[in-house]
Structure 1
Amino acid sequence: MIETKKSLFDNLQNFFGFDNFKGEQEAIITNILSGNDTFVIMPTGGGKSMCYQLPALMTDGMAIVISPLIALMKNQVDQLRAFGGSDSIAHFLNSSLTKSEITKVKEDVLSGKTKLLYVAPESLTKQENIDFLRLNSVSFVAVDEAHCISEWGHDFRPEYRKIRQVISNIGENIPIIALTATATPKVQQDIQKNLQMNNATIYKSSFNRGNLFYEVRAKRNVLKEIVRFVKQHTGKSGIIYCLSRKKVEEVAEALSLNGVKALPYHAGLDAKVRADTQDRFLMEDVDVIVATIAFGMGIDKPDVRYVIHHDVPKSMEGYYQETGRAGRDGGEGVCLAFYSEKDIDKLQKFMKDKPVAEREIGTQILKEVIDYAESAVCRRKQILHYFGENFNEAGCNCMCDNCSATKQYFDAEAPLHKALSLMKKLGEKFDDHHIISVLMGVDNPQIHNYEHHLIEEFGSGKEEGINLWNSLMRQALLNNFVSKDIDHYGLLRLTKSGHAFLENPYTLRYVLNRPMGSTDDDDGDDAKHGGSAALDTVLLQMLKDQRKKIAKQKGLPPFVIFQDPSLEEMCTHYPISIDELKQISGVGSGKALKFGAPFIDLIKKYVEEHDIDRPVDMVIKSAANKSALKVYIIQNIDRHLSLEDIANSKGLSYEDIIREVESIVNSGTKLNLNYYIDEMIDEDRQEEVFDYFKSSEIDSIDEALVELGPNEYTREEMQLMRIKFMSELGN
């Protein structure tokens, strides 16, 4: 045993250059070297890969590592080749290889030079690969990211279900090591059952990552908040997760526009581009990767300083694994997630067409995310409880937003007794939603079917309010008064502590949730949506005077220069450069360059004289917000199509198309509609309307119709002439 221990440390030093093992690595590796099935549950950054790499290098034969992602395989194979000094020591076998590359891999494997062969589960199940692997001496099989086996895991892969059968086909009594960074008790059970390794030695490390700071924010102006956050962490590495490819591209573009070295990463990109992006991130040519969840599994970058979730994650396992990519070196790691009820609605819609069983599982998994996001309880306590680990929130050391915030408490003794009594009375056959509905007196179909609207407890908790009951039920679960039976639709059961509390209640206080409510998922400015930013009325008057002066010089009405909403927005954001002015609604690039300079000078001087602390938001540049419809309209006006034809092709009314064209022109884009207007309005009448707008102080079509005679012009003609006027003189 002493000799084995010495050999272990010698090999650790020789191959990897480390003097000591991390956590339970030594015990795990010794167990594998003894030929035992081994189950490793270790958080991201705990050193899982070492647990199978070192024994593979020390054992006769070759270890097969089953891994779900090509990026993960490439990263680990590159590292092993660097450590081992030979390209033959490790290979991967997957769909990215050419025929000649596959031949080279097989030659090295058959010659005995290869100690680790990484295989995708899809490749593993091919008969030709099974036949080939039978020809080799396999030391053991490592199943990485083993949570993919379980339907309750966040990244279920049906191919993982076939692994046990394939291993049996390759050879007899091959030891298995299964590894995962995210496994609830239910998922652990599924993994062991499916791999037929119920007698495996289990090594479970704490899921607590003390250096990570967890924060959840309501989703308002999320793009600006992300850009601001990244700019505040300039030069640090970060990963931003989005649910859609479109959003990945949008966020990456916004960051690049603002001088951040950022790249997108998603499955729609070419494999070579993805590999290059990953390499550039690892080599620190790029600071930020904006990605779908496909990025990051197994990426060994220790100094990722923040992980941001633009959209609410689909599951707590996914959230934990993705946030776990921050601060793997034990240094700073900020985990920021944005939460919106709209996100939840989207995720629920995705599940609508799925089979009933899958939908049921998905709903329970998503409910955990909602509870986590909306709860005011210590984030760390909630995460660890989800993975079956009890945690005293005092140990959080204010390393989450909830522990850092001022909390509001309520006396929980009476309401907890009431809720537990009701659960017991109803036979512990219902979930928290049902229990709360009874207490709040919600007469929905399920309540009616069970005739629970007839029991005395129905409506008895109305006075306490829905927020208190949601807070209470969450904390009753976290503090182990009740447990959730996830195999049976998340039904709540009383624990020993719950029964004991019913017998002998005692005083306890719980934290009241701070409901986030419905949030605005628009990335626009507050000012554009009637936000509450204070208007600087002194500056507004100065800007209006400036506008009047320029209008007089150019012989134009003031509204052609900038409209009032644009001036008001300038008074809340204080733009002091042309680039910043372009971000103001109604100010396109043309308007900013044509009229902007004197306004910028005035605002700059005003800010300096009054020592104004400008909002950081204004420094944030955004890409031109031209929807696909607006681009389509501009292109077809350039082609001289009639507005009716453009409207019909998009299923719009004529009024709709006029509104869209007005919006395009008002935001500073020049449109030439002469080809269309000339057919409708003769030259003399056009000139009369043009002259009216040129001399008018008021931007009003109603006033124009009154002034020029309601019977002389139609509203449609007046709208078209106003568009022509604004386009030619204002843009």
Structure 2
Amino acid sequence: MPESQLILNTLKEYFGYDSFRDLQKEIIEAVFEGKDNLVIMPTGGGKSICYQLPALLLPGITLVISPLIALMKDQVDGLKANGIKAAFVNSSQDEAEQQEIFQDIANLAIKILYVAPESLHFLEGLLSEIEISLIAIDEAHCISAWGHDFRPAYTQLGYLKKQFPKTPIIALTATADKATRKDICDQLNIPNAKLHLASFDRKNLALEVRPGNKRIEQIYTFLSDKPFQSGIIYCLSRKTTEALAEKLNNKGFSAAAYHAGIEHQKRAEVQEKFINDSIQIVCATIAFGMGIDKSNVRWVIHYNLPKNIEGYYQEIGRAGRDGLPSSTLLFHSYADVVQLQKFADMSGNKEIQLAKLDRMKQYAESLSCRRKILLSYFGELIEKDCGNCDVCNNPPTIIDGTTLAQKALSCVTRIKEQEPIGTVIDVLRGAQNAIVVDQGYQNLKTYGIGRDIAWRDWQQYIIQLINQGYLEIAFHQNNKLKLTALSKKVLFEGEKVSLAHLKELEKVKQPVINTNQVASNDLFEKLRLLRLELAKKAGIPAYQIFNDATLREMEKHKPVTDEEFIQINGVGRQKMQNYGYQFIKEIQAFVDPPKKKKKTTKKGKTHTETLTLLKNGLSLEEIAVQRKLTASTIFSHIFKLYEDGEAIDLHQFIDKENITAIQKAKELLNSPETLKPYYEHFEGSVDYNTIKIGLAILDKKDSTT
């Protein structure tokens, strides 16, 4: 295993971070030890680094199985922006493109290769001839019929472990309950995989549920204080996405519809505009979002009730991936439930789908802290309410439910956790139906101890106990109720239980409008606009330059030297080289506006020092050594000094062969406006700064002829 310092240096150099998030270091070390791993980590938790970083230090290629073409392209573009050699193979490419990539793989010119499961057979011969150091299965829940997004193409992946028995496999997903986790490992032939279960608690997400009346008016109100923020509205039908997008556009918002019925090129255009902040809002079916790695989505609305909690959790997880405060809003109605029941009736595992839909409905109607419900669903139990959901902000009347809880939990214990909620209630109420009699439950001490409480009321109380994590439903065991670690505290340690008064269910809860928004700031807005401008020039999504969290850190610390700027989280070597000067210049202008007329600014000084040393005859490398900066940083100084009108001969920094190659590429590519087509044309062999120098020389030559 590489030394810890080398791993940390790699993290900073390529990804811009000084330290790991929770579990990342543990997972990466397990990969280097050759272990198989199952990683359950919420959206935005940093799953990708768990295989991307090892890929850089392992000797061979890392193979990544990914379900969506858009997701692959997004990941590969992001890796290239960080200076990492990566590629993808899928059905969107023609044979010539694929052969070119195959040649790069054979020449060991690629470290990370993304491939769709349907395209694996194209690589069979090639994979047997090269060293595969790691296999990553992204969106691993797709392999399980228990999961919420089963994809038949994933079922073939079990052969990978048989073909590469000594190669570690890392399976990653954002959402998987206990049944799905076990099935993933069984299907992939990694039964002894080490489980890494990250916290599902996304504290930055405000959770809110409202009745589905006057949804359009409520959405207008919700969006009224979010004029420039990106968001997604999930709808159940294609027709609704189009109607809603049209209404939002008529109200002055920038919105577009997205669903599987829209022509492919149009869908790709909508997605690209959303990623690049050209469209603020996407109204979509669940077909949208899985391939989006956009970190600055500030809110997610569910226009209709989702079909299960896994899907709902994954979809709200597309908001606030940068860790900044973000809002989620869910509308629900009886009509939604009826429609989703019809969908479940047509599915292959109807009973599971209906049980999970029922659990989703219980979440929407709950009088308990919503975060507690989500976390307990995935097996994570917290004792304190979150304070960042509508129930916590508008709490119901509370009663002491300890005795009720003890009765229910004792009953589940006595029947040995072998029955669903309905049978548990029948035993509590002393019913004499066939199930109770056949199992001999009438002989239990808990039989009939809850006769004084109506069946419907017991159902509501038990749902509250499930919501608070005192019980859980085993969907893969015919929905049997199971005890949890918290239930033992009630039964044996005297823990008190608070339950909502059932009269609260009859009230129409007033909508709670979340006001926990990021305040607008002049510097942040300037940095955001600069990022957008640079992204358009480079032909990449804005968040791939820096995400909102990195901009917020710049806003807070206001770095005005290279040394300060490189300390910002999210700033790695490649991004410092490509964008450092522009952002520092913008920050310096904000900190020290020209009207103040100060003699020397820090930013001015650092470039003046580079210019002085250059005029004294020092080479680029000598300047870098003397100034204790990277050669790439000095390179960016010199180019910007040239742009600002300094008399610098750029020919000393580029050879004639590169100028000739760039000129040919310019003619071949028909003079593209962005640098990315050049970079891809040269397959990364010519860096961005060299391309910029070459184009500057050619532009000057053209202007003088």
Fold agreement, TM-score > 0.5: yes
Query: Distance in 2 between the 1:52 and 1:504 partners?
Result: 43
Q: Deviations over 1:438-459 (max 9, x none)?
A: 6679999978998999999999
Query: Distance in 1 between the 2:166 and 2:328 partners?
Result: 43
Matched, 1:372 2:363: yes
Matched, 1:336 2:307: no
Q: Residue 80 and residue 424 in structure 1: after superposition, are their counterparts in 2 closer, same or farther (change >3 A)?
A: closer
**1:98 alignment counterpart:** 94
Matched, 1:272 2:265: yes
**2:149 alignment counterpart:** 155
- Any conservation in 2 of the 1:227–1:254 contact (CA below 8 Å)? no
Matched, 1:353 2:308: no
* Most deviating of 172-181 and 207-216: 172-181
**2:399 alignment counterpart:** 410
**1:300 alignment counterpart:** 293
Query: Distance in 2 between the 1:182 and 1:385 partners?
Result: 13
- Any conservation in 2 of the 1:167–1:174 contact (CA below 8 Å)? yes
Query: Distance in 1 between the 2:294 and 2:486 partners?
Result: 43
Query: Distance in 2 between the 1:211 and 1:201 partners?
Result: 28
Query: Distance in 2 between the 1:498 and 1:17 partners?
Result: 44
| Residue identity opposite 1:113 in structure 2 | A
SS at match of 1:84: coil
Matched, 1:388 2:384: no
Q: Residue 354 and residue 266 in structure 1: after superposition, are their counterparts in 2 closer, same or farther (change >3 A)?
A: closer
Q: Deviations over 1:115-162 (max 9, x none)?
A: 1111111222x3x43233223221111001111122221111222222
Q: Deviations over 1:153-199 (max 9, x none)?
A: 11112222221214533x34121111111122222222222222233
- Any conservation in 2 of the 1:409–1:512 contact (CA below 8 Å)? yes
Matched, 1:401 2:390: yes
- Any conservation in 1 of the 2:259–2:288 contact (CA below 8 Å)? yes
Query: Distance in 1 between the 2:134 and 2:488 partners?
Result: 47
Task: State which of 219, 239, 244 in structure 2 corresponds to 1:246.
Answer: 239
**2:629 alignment counterpart:** none
Q: Residue 353 and residue 452 in structure 1: after superposition, are their counterparts in 2 closer, same or farther (change >3 A)?
A: farther
- Any conservation in 1 of the 2:211–2:332 contact (CA below 8 Å)? yes
Matched, 1:37 2:36: yes
* Most deviating of 453-462 and 204-213: 453-462
SS at match of 1:268: coil
Query: Distance in 2 between the 1:251 and 1:421 partners?
Result: 49
Task: State which of 207, 211, 217 in structure 1 corresponds to 2:200.
Answer: 207
Query: Distance in 1 between the 2:437 and 2:262 partners?
Result: 52
- Any conservation in 1 of the 2:61–2:112 contact (CA below 8 Å)? yes
| Residue identity opposite 1:486 in structure 2 | F
Q: Residue 449 and residue 290 in structure 1: after superposition, are their counterparts in 2 closer, same or farther (change >3 A)?
A: farther
Q: Deviations over 1:35-83 (max 9, x none)?
A: 2222222111111111111221222221111111111111111111222
Query: Cα offset for 1:4?
Result: 2.0
Query: Cα offset for 1:290?
Result: 1.3
Query: Cα offset for 1:332?
Result: 1.7
**1:116 alignment counterpart:** 112
Query: Distance in 2 between the 1:227 and 1:47 partners?
Result: 33
| Residue identity opposite 1:469 in structure 2 | W
Query: Distance in 1 between the 2:506 and 2:272 partners?
Result: 39
- Any conservation in 2 of the 1:302–1:328 contact (CA below 8 Å)? yes
**1:70 alignment counterpart:** 69
| Residue identity opposite 2:320 in structure 1 | G
**2:130 alignment counterpart:** 136
- Any conservation in 1 of the 2:381–2:469 contact (CA below 8 Å)? no
**1:515 alignment counterpart:** 505
* Most deviating of 436-445 and 102-111: 436-445
**1:560 alignment counterpart:** none
| Residue identity opposite 1:39 in structure 2 | L
Q: Which runs of 5+ in 1 are unaligned?
A: 520-731
Query: Distance in 2 between the 1:11 and 1:426 partners?
Result: 54
Query: Distance in 2 between the 1:422 and 1:6 partners?
Result: 54
**1:225 alignment counterpart:** 218
Matched, 1:485 2:485: no
SS at match of 1:484: strand
**1:325 alignment counterpart:** 318
- Any conservation in 2 of the 1:64–1:117 contact (CA below 8 Å)? yes
Q: Which runs of 5+ in 2 are unaligned?
A: 510-705
Query: Distance in 2 between the 1:45 and 1:496 partners?
Result: 28
Q: Deviations over 1:598-636 (max 9, x none)?
A: xxxxxxxxxxxxxxxxxxxxxxxxxxxxxxxxxxxxxxx
Larger relative CO (CA 8 A, sep 6+): 1 or 2?
Answer: 2
- Any conservation in 1 of the 2:425–2:458 contact (CA below 8 Å)? yes
SS at match of 1:60: coil
Query: Distance in 2 between the 1:285 and 1:442 partners?
Result: 62
Query: Cα offset for 1:376?
Result: 0.6
Query: Cα offset for 1:254?
Result: 1.4
Query: Distance in 2 between the 1:253 and 1:452 partners?
Result: 58
SS at match of 1:140: strand
- Any conservation in 2 of the 1:242–1:311 contact (CA below 8 Å)? yes
Matched, 1:432 2:431: no
**1:607-686 equivalences in 2 (<5 Å):** none
Query: Distance in 1 between the 2:506 and 2:83 partners?
Result: 52
| Residue identity opposite 1:512 in structure 2 | H
- Any conservation in 2 of the 1:417–1:505 contact (CA below 8 Å)? no
Q: Residue 38 and residue 491 in structure 1: after superposition, are their counterparts in 2 closer, same or farther (change >3 A)?
A: closer
Q: Give the % identical residues.
A: 40
**1:687-698 equivalences in 2 (<5 Å):** none
Query: Distance in 2 between the 1:139 and 1:504 partners?
Result: 50
Q: Residue 203 and residue 361 in structure 1: after superposition, are their counterparts in 2 closer, same or farther (change >3 A)?
A: same
| Residue identity opposite 1:129 in structure 2 | L
Q: Deviations over 1:402-449 (max 9, x none)?
A: 111131122324433443455566665431134346667999997899
- What is the total number of aligned residue pairs between the two structures? 508
| Residue identity opposite 1:365 in structure 2 | K
Query: Distance in 2 between the 1:258 and 1:500 partners?
Result: 53
Query: Cα offset for 1:309?
Result: 0.6
Task: State which of 169, 189, 212 in structure 2 corresponds to 1:176.
Answer: 169
| Residue identity opposite 2:308 in structure 1 | S
Query: Cα offset for 1:267?
Result: 1.9
Q: Deviations over 1:514-561 (max 9, x none)?
A: 437999xxxxxxxxxxxxxxxxxxxxxxxxxxxxxxxxxxxxxxxxxx
**1:673 alignment counterpart:** none
Query: Distance in 1 between the 2:277 and 2:492 partners?
Result: 60
Query: Distance in 2 between the 1:54 and 1:279 partners?
Result: 27
* Most deviating of 379-388 and 156-165: 156-165
Q: Residue 202 and residue 458 in structure 1: after superposition, are their counterparts in 2 closer, same or farther (change >3 A)?
A: closer
TM-score (normalised: structure 1): 0.64
| Residue identity opposite 1:165 in structure 2 | Y
Q: Deviations over 1:577-607 (max 9, x none)?
A: xxxxxxxxxxxxxxxxxxxxxxxxxxxxxxx
**1:648 alignment counterpart:** none
**1:145 alignment counterpart:** 139
Q: Which has the larger radius of gyration?
A: 1
- Any conservation in 2 of the 1:216–1:401 contact (CA below 8 Å)? yes
SS at match of 1:347: helix
Query: Cα offset for 1:501?
Result: 5.5
Q: Residue 482 and residue 38 in structure 1: after superposition, are their counterparts in 2 closer, same or farther (change >3 A)?
A: closer
Matched, 1:54 2:44: no
Query: Distance in 2 between the 1:37 and 1:65 partners?
Result: 14
CA RMSD of aligned residues (A): 3.2
**1:625 alignment counterpart:** none
- Any conservation in 1 of the 2:208–2:389 contact (CA below 8 Å)? yes
- Any conservation in 1 of the 2:39–2:173 contact (CA below 8 Å)? yes
SS at match of 2:75: helix
Query: Distance in 2 between the 1:205 and 1:494 partners?
Result: 22
Query: Cα offset for 1:493?
Result: 4.1
Query: Distance in 2 between the 1:351 and 1:438 partners?
Result: 29
Q: Residue 258 and residue 444 in structure 1: after superposition, are their counterparts in 2 closer, same or farther (change >3 A)?
A: farther
